[in-house]
A = this chain, B = another copy of it.
Amino acid sequence: MDNVIDQSGILAISTRLQRLSDALRKEGQLIYQSFGIQFEPKWFPVVYTLHLKTSMSVVEIANEIGYAHPSTISLLKELEKQQIIKSKKDKTDERKRLIVLTTKGKALVDAMKPVWNNMEKALVQIADNKNNLMEAIIEAEEKLKESSFLVRSQKIRQ
């Protein structure tokens, strides 16, 4: 609480969330490196999803990870370049591309499991305090689903 933005409190919450997100992602990158693994934190949602669900279309992945589909497409392009995933046309629906992990991708996931385990422990240290950050995020998202920031603002205004 030593600068103006901290003092302005909750109004700068969007900025604070982003700052923290950036810091964790950048350090995540360094941790993968320290384990000698070539993997970027931004790839995690796609790869984690595919490792659980085997074969999915682009839009299915996008919905699953909560991203817009063009963002997902660009992640998939990077992962295809790294030969972590591959895709084939869906035979029953010509519009769809079915995405799967390659053999290399599956091996990478196995190699990353201890890293994920390690990161998870470190993240629990960081996020589990008097207030649990992950739970706080989930609770806030639930509140937003109930009634958006805008709608709440309008109700308060009346």
Contact = CB atoms under 8 A, between A and B. Distances in A.
A134 B48 contact: no
Interface of A: 1, 3-6, 8-25, 27-28, 30-31, 34, 41-42, 44-45, 48-49, 52-53, 63-66, 116, 118-127, 129-141, 143-144, 148-150, 152-154, 156-157
A12 B126 contact: no
A15 B121 CA distance: 18
Given A10-B120, A10-B124, 18 more contacts: A3-B63, A5-B45, A15-B21, A15-B45, A15-B65, A17-B17, A17-B21, A18-B21, A27-B150, A31-B149, A31-B150, A34-B150, A34-B153, A119-B149, A121-B156, A122-B149, A122-B156, A129-B140
Interface residue SS majority, chain A: helix
Q: Copy number of this protein in the oligomer?
A: 2
B5 A64 contact: yes
